[in-house]
Amino acid sequence: MAKLGFVVVAIYIFIALLTPILIDWGLLPNSQEGLNNPIFSSPSLSHWCGTDRLGRDVCVRTLEASGVALQVVFLAVTLAVLIGLPLGMLSGYLGGFLDRCLVLLMDTLYTIPVILLSVVMAFVLGRGILNAAVALCVVYIPQYFRVVRNQTTQVKSELYIEAAVSMGAGPLWILRKYLLKNVITSVPVLLTMNAADAVLVLGGLGFLGLGLPESIPEWGSDLNMALVAMPTGIWWTALYPGVAMFGLVIGLSLIGEGIEDLISDQR
């Protein structure tokens, strides 16, 4: 499953890197220059996936949205790991007042539905790639915090940790030297699962008009625009962005499932 997932995600990365080059070379039409194209043109040799209500090429816009989705998701999960992992380790190892405050904060965030929290954060931060990534990041920080904290509280009672403390090792040394390598094994699985979920949440924000500006290709906003056209038989404006989103989610999910099975076998 992991191999298949890596192949799928690699295809998306390849598309994301190649599409801007092909546009610059004039081999693909610019998705923002659709004023001279007919609106709602059905798929044809000139427009493989048809055009949308603004005359933009659906195929090119869907391909460009792949790169945008990968950027936002990569930033979101990376920020979540960089914030959630050290906070979870510090909270689990030090305990006390800091632990109680962080647990209360993270549990509060965790109880809020993902889409609701992301909508609130997106509304507060505004629209944009970085803002969307930060909004998604806040959603996933509690998950890393809870997993890492629980593992840290279990590992810190091991005899070799107590021996290191008795020999004068400080908290930062123990966290970096002994605890990090024990708690980081669960991060890859959680990261890929969150990445798959982030694709859907980003699409949901775009569908609600809270994700990225309309000028930036994004699957969710394209599906929102296609909602009005669907009842009139204009299916292509919704089909291709939906299939593209579905494919990336499946690829990331397969990677997560494969890594989880691999870790379980090693144990």
Residue 75 has a pLDDT of 94
Question: Could you tell me which of 43, 213, 26 has the C-alpha nearest to residue 132?
Answer: 213
Residue 55 located in a structural domain: no
**Structural domain contains residue 47:** no
CB within 8 Å of 60: residues ≥ 6 apart: 19, 23, 28, 29, 30, 31
Which pLDDT score, from 0 to 100, does residue 34 have? 54
User: Does residue 36 sit within a domain?
Assistant: no
Q: Do 152 and 179 contact (CB within 8 A), yes or no?
A: yes
The answer to whether residue 34 sits within a structural domain is no
Tell me what pLDDT residue 266 has. Answer: 64
In order along its 267 residues, the chain shows pLDDT tens digits of 889 999 999 999 999 999 989 888 877 776 665 556 778 888 887 778 888 888 888 888 999 999 999 999 999 999 999 999 999 989 988 888 989 999 999 999 988 888 888 888 888 888 888 999 999 999 999 999 999 998 888 888 777 777 877 787 777 777 877 788 888 887 888 899 999 999 999 999 999 888 888 788 999 999 988 888 888 888 888 999 999 999 999 999 999 888 888 777 665
Q: What is the pLDDT of residue 33?
A: 58
Tell me the pLDDT tens digit for each residue of 211-225. Answer: 888 788 999 999 988
Question: Token pair 């509690």 is at which residue?
Answer: 142
Please tell me the distance from the alpha carbon of residue 234 to that of residue 239, in angstroms, as a whole number.
10
The reply to whether 41 falls in a domain is no
The residue range of the domain holding 214 is: 2-28+60-266
pTM for this predicted structure: 0.88
Per-residue model confidence (pLDDT) at position 261: 82
Question: How many domains does one find in the chain?
Answer: 1
- The 3-class SS string of the chain reads CHHHHHHHHHHHHHHHHHHHHHHHCCCCCCCCCCCCCCCCCCCCCCCCCCECCCCCEHHHHHHHHHHHHHHHHHHHHHHHHHHHHHHHHHHHHHCHHHHHHHHHHHHHHHHCCHHHHHHHHHHHHCCCHHHHHHHHHHHHHHHHHHHHHHHHHHHCCCHHHHHHHHCCCCHHHHHHHHHHHHHHHHHHHHHHHHHHHHHHHHHHHHHCCCCCCCCCCCHHHHHHHHHHHHHHCCCHHHHHHHHHHHHHHHHHHHHHHHHHHHHHHHC
Is residue 107 included in any domain, yes or no? yes
Could you give the C-alpha distances from 124 to 110, 113, 132, 134, in angstroms and in order?
19, 17, 11, 11
- Asked if residue 175 belongs to a domain, the reply is yes
CATH code assigned at 232: 1.10.3720.10
Main-chain phi, psi angles of 80, to 5 degrees: -65, -40
68: in domain: yes
Amino acid occupying residue 212: L
